[in-house]
Amino acid sequence: MTKAPLRLLATGVVVALAVAACGGGGSKASAPGVTATTVTIGSHQPLTGVAAPGYSEIAPASNAYFKYINANGGINGRTINYTYLDDGYNPANTVTVVHKLVEQDKVFAIFNGLGTPTHQAVVSYLNQQKVPDLFVASGCLCWNQTTTDPETFGWQPDYTVEGKILGQYIAKNFPGKKVGIFAQNDDFGTNGIKGLEDEIPASSVVSTQRYDPTNIKITPQVQALQQSGAEIVVSFSVPAFTALLKLTSVALKFNPQLVVSNVGSDPITLSGLISSFSKGKAPGQALIQGIISDTYLAPPSDASNSWIQLFKKIHDKYIPKLPFDGNVEYGMAAAYTFAQALKAAGKNPTRASIVAAVEKGGFSGPGLVPFAFSSSSHSGYTGVQIAKIQGLVGVPVGTPLVTDDTPKGAITPYTTAEPAAPSNGIPSD
Amino acid sequence: MKLPAVLTRSTALRNLAITVVAGLVLFGLTEVFSEYRNTQLANAGINFCAIAGLTVLTGLSGQISLGNGAFMFIGAYTVALLLKHHPSTSNPELVLIVVAAVVVAAIVGGFVGTAAARLRGPYLAGVTLALALGVPVLPDYQHLEGPLGGHAGLIVNAPGPPGGTLDLERWQAWICCLAALVTFFVLANLRSSRVGRSFTAVRDDEIAASLAGMSVPRIQILAFVVSAGSAGLAGAMLAIIDGQIGPQSFPLQISLFLLAGAVFGGLGSMAGAAYGAVLITFLGGWSTDLSNALSLPSKVDLNLPPAFYGLVLIVSMLLFPFGLQGLVRRGWHRVRTRTRPVEVAAR
């Protein structure tokens, strides 16, 4: 070590400390990300990678809805800036992009962060930092932890609720049939299986196979399902893996009745994926006919539904290149709920006031079933309606059903009709 | 300004002085930095630990490793598993957990080093490359899926900043910089000690070194242990900062980036490790910004960072083959010869 570098270092210290003395101690704004005219929110989304097919439409759809709101005066006079960053469905990237959103972009809240393993990576960070973590795009039970994660709220029905309703349908309509399970090997799959096994007798489950979303070779799992003699296969999978399951089954001449969780069953996405994975050799639409699934939103093809009319209008104006499918509807519906929450958070929203507003609940918007939001529950939609794929539509069957995620919680029909969309398409008070 | 005689005589004291001064500078920086800059500083600290270890291995003992990401994985998973089974850990206890992670990584490094000491050049690179590829996918292995959390990885619930008022980011920058300073102090002293000189002796001529009475394999293994321990520390800190780790936190690229950082900064030099750490902390973000600015398709975007590293390596090899620190040293030497030729000649 020579003298001059040491002198340089010493100068550096003095300067750094001097600046620190002057710059420190500034107080934080009461609500980061909120100005007189804007509210900035952020999200992590799989714009690339294995979960991107289908899901990559969700954030652009939410953004289209926000643009529509902004063009019509915003919420309480503020426009919504929505920054969504790609995490490639990789939890390691999720950590990086969410830190960037919170610390550099100073977002007011994280909205609709997508994925179970990805969002799990940032939940404790967001709660530690007291950043509202609204309407996670995943049905993991883990978003409903009001004591440890008070800032986090789910949105879609949780996978256990879904598993229970799918399980009850199977038990009633296919009594005595052998059931195989194909599920993602994280809490998405685990929560779904939990609900399913509440309703299906353990003796009829002949095989449970898990897949890793980073490994697209699922032939061993499908072979195991085939050898177990499963007549029904219930799949808790993202769309790419539902498509792979179908294609691999076809290749093995294995043709069980498929029952697919909502998140992996959008018909337009699946049909396109099957065609593109098989390089056009397999008929996407033909192969998905008769798949049983469930929904909590009206089918995108239902032109008589006021929400579909609203979303279609926004779609055609802002994102005409995307297919008008379940993902786009999902993105806009979630954005609508956010707009409701922001409206309810008051004229000068703070992080605490928006959390309080969601806990107060009472949001009525698109959805065949109500939300569970309260101070003791951070779960979203409380149920689903069974749907069967016909053509490129999941056609609802029977009535919407609601339940909770406990084994004993009864499954009951929900008969209140879906409220109509407001005429201007923007939530009022 | 003349250096106190005690500093010119004792390397340990001089290194301590540098550590303290650097610590003060870093502390000053955390005070003025924004939250996001502090997160980046924390990451730079983590990268420094890993690169400093690698630069000792490759620059001093002459062994190459393309697999230090695997040791980071071991350090990170050790912390994650210990915290999982001891959920309410206090910050002092966290220090013990980090030490345990370093020890575990160092022990594994010892085993790998034993094999590595028998291998040279491309074969050694091959073995360490296999390590970088094989170790991080262990959680996907059927029988380890339960304890290691599979592809979704493990949540790391580290104790937060003490008291309620300190920013999380500033706290994280502090602990990561502390880890980096400890690494610097230990490795800088090691470098100028008998052990460090034996590393260089083995690197320069194994036969001469063994004729001089050194056990070449033992020295090579020791270098591996040191480098693995540093990488283990980096992994441990990464786990604490990120709050979540999984196989995807340790892709092959991380090992290659570390090597690129060490080469760019200047192999064997601690200052070089610091330059390399800063470079690899920022390069990823720069390449994302660039691809966003040019709105490149995602397939190009994803391959941009590795391409950037390649470019940086090529440019640095062409312009300053001894790394940035080599360049700094040369420039400094030129200035000194011009102003005080006598003193330089005396050295």
- Rounded Cα gap, residues B44 and B35, in angstroms: 14
- Rounded Cα gap, residues B107 and B65, in angstroms: 16
pLDDT tens across the length of chain B (347 residues):
556 776 777 888 999 999 999 999 999 999 999 888 999 999 999 999 999 999 999 999 999 899 999 999 999 999 999 998 888 778 889 999 999 999 999 999 999 999 888 888 888 889 999 999 999 889 888 788 788 888 888 888 888 888 777 888 899 999 999 999 999 999 999 999 999 999 999 999 999 999 999 999 999 999 999 999 999 999 999 999 998 898 888 988 889 889 999 999 999 899 999 999 999 998 877 877 787 777 777 667 777 777 888 888 888 888 888 888 888 888 888 888 776 554 444 43
Tokens in use for B217? 């394999």
Q: Which residue in chain B has the smallest CA separation from A6?
A: B18
Question: 3-state SS of chain A: helix, strand, coil percent to 5?
Answer: 40, 15, 40
pLDDT, tens digit, 9 for 90 and up, residues B57-67: 999 999 989 99
- Residue from the list B18, B169, B332 with its beta carbon closest to the beta carbon of A103: B169
Measured between beta carbons, the chain B residues lying within 8 angstroms of A15 are 28
Nearest chain B Cα distance for residue A367, angstroms: 30
- Residue from the list A9, A16, A120 with its beta carbon closest to the beta carbon of B244: A120
pLDDT at residue number B2: 59
- Rounded Cα gap, residues B234 and A23, in angstroms: 30
CB contact (8 A) between residue A104 and residue B153:
no
CB contact (8 A) between residue A16 and residue B25:
yes
- Residue from the list B24, B39, B140 with its beta carbon closest to the beta carbon of A99: B39
Q: Is A396 helix (H, G, I), strand (E, B) or coil?
A: strand
Q: How far is CA A370 from CA A146, A264, A373, B96, B307, in A?
A: 19, 22, 9, 49, 50
Burial class (CB in 10 A: 0-12, 13-18, 19+), A338: buried
CB contact (8 A) between residue B22 and residue A48:
no
Nearest chain B Cα distance for residue A189, angstroms: 12
Q: How many residues does chain B have?
A: 347
Nearest chain B Cα distance for residue A95, angstroms: 6
**CA neighbor of B136 nearest in space, from B253, B22, B54:** B253
**CA neighbor of B113 nearest in space, from B51, B52, B70:** B70
Measured between beta carbons, the chain B residues lying within 8 angstroms of A9 are 18, 21-22, 25
Nearest chain A Cα distance for residue B3, angstroms: 6
pLDDT, tens digit, 9 for 90 and up, residues B305-322: 778 888 888 888 888 888
pLDDT under 50 in chain A at which residues? Answer: 1-29
Measured between beta carbons, the chain B residues lying within 8 angstroms of A46 are none
- Residue from the list B152, B160, B298 with its beta carbon closest to the beta carbon of A117: B152
Neighbours of B61 (CB within 10 A): 26
Measured between beta carbons, the chain B residues lying within 8 angstroms of A93 are 248
Across chain A, which distance is largest between two alpha carbons, in Å? 86
Across chain B, which distance is largest between two alpha carbons, in Å? 68
Residue A184's DSSP bridge partners are A211
Residue A152's DSSP bridge partners are A133
pLDDT at residue number B298: 67
Strands A257-260 and B244-245: unpaired
**CA neighbor of A116 nearest in space, from A166, A64, A189:** A189
pLDDT at residue number A353: 95
